[in-house]
Amino acid sequence: MNINEEESLMEPNLLEQAEFADNPEPRCPVVLLLDTSGSMQGEPVKELNEGLRAFSDALKNDRLASLRVEAAVITFGGKVRAMDVRGEPRQGSEMITFNPRALAPRTMTKEIPFDARQAFVTVDQFQPPFLQAHGDTPMGEAIQRSLALLQERKEIYKQNGLDYFRPWMFVITDGKPTDLNWEAAAERVKQEENRRGVIFYGVGVEKADMQVLSRFSNIRQPLRLKGLAFGDLFMWLSKSLSVIAHSRPGEQAPLPPVGWGEVDTSHGS
């Protein structure tokens, strides 16, 4: 191995050390797993984009949460993508007010490698992605790769002596998986839940197959979103993560009531 190769291997660790020295707060990693398949075209993906903006703005208004919550956005529409959500750190203490009409037309956010060093960013630096909908629904692959990403991120915390909260995985879909490995992915999620390695939430939109979505957790039933209330959903998520961020790792924290969704009782016996 030459000197340049050695330096390239050392560089990420040095960057991590600098990052965690600047912000030694315990971390709460959350993966937003978002269905961007063709059936989400039109109003659904528009509301999803606006919901992500509301999520970002709300958490940035909570200084402690903005330093503790780390978000990654993984989409599954045609293929599985890790999205570049790293922006500039927020400066000052001015409150942010969400204005959905301020959304300007943008090109689709660029894709990045599946690397926990790149995919996760504290919310003070979070830039909401601009998502477009197309393709099928490879949800099983998306979940498998996201679990691996969370495991990689936890190892980085451990290597740098940083405490962390149990990771969250938040899946939103309006259909059902079109890939063949989704059942294996569902079993992996349940295994991680049983060993307290992840907190999993499944959310179905419009004609989502709630019976399939229920296969991903033995702990929490999936919820069907009321209409296209993505704004309410993401405001609840931001408030919940703020509650977690103001607690201590391992501590039970009561979450706000869910008003954006309901348990689907139309399947099963």
Residue 143 structure tokens = 């979940």
Whether 204 contacts 226, CB under 8 Å: no
pTM above 0.75, yes or no: yes
Give per-10-residue mean pLDDT for the chain (269 aa). Answer: 43 75 96 98 97 97 97 98 84 48 57 96 96 97 98 96 97 96 97 97 96 96 97 97 96 92 67
- Rg from Cα positions in the chain: 18
Say if strands 199-204 and 168-173 run parallel, antiparallel, or are unpaired: parallel
Q: How far apart are CA 130 and CA 53, in angstroms?
A: 9
pLDDT at 15: 74
| 8 Å CB contact between 241 and 261 | no
Determine the pLDDT at residue 268. 44
Per-residue pLDDT at 3: 46
3-class secondary structure, 256: coil
**Domains of the chain (ranges, CATH numbers):** 17-87+112-250 (3.40.50.410)
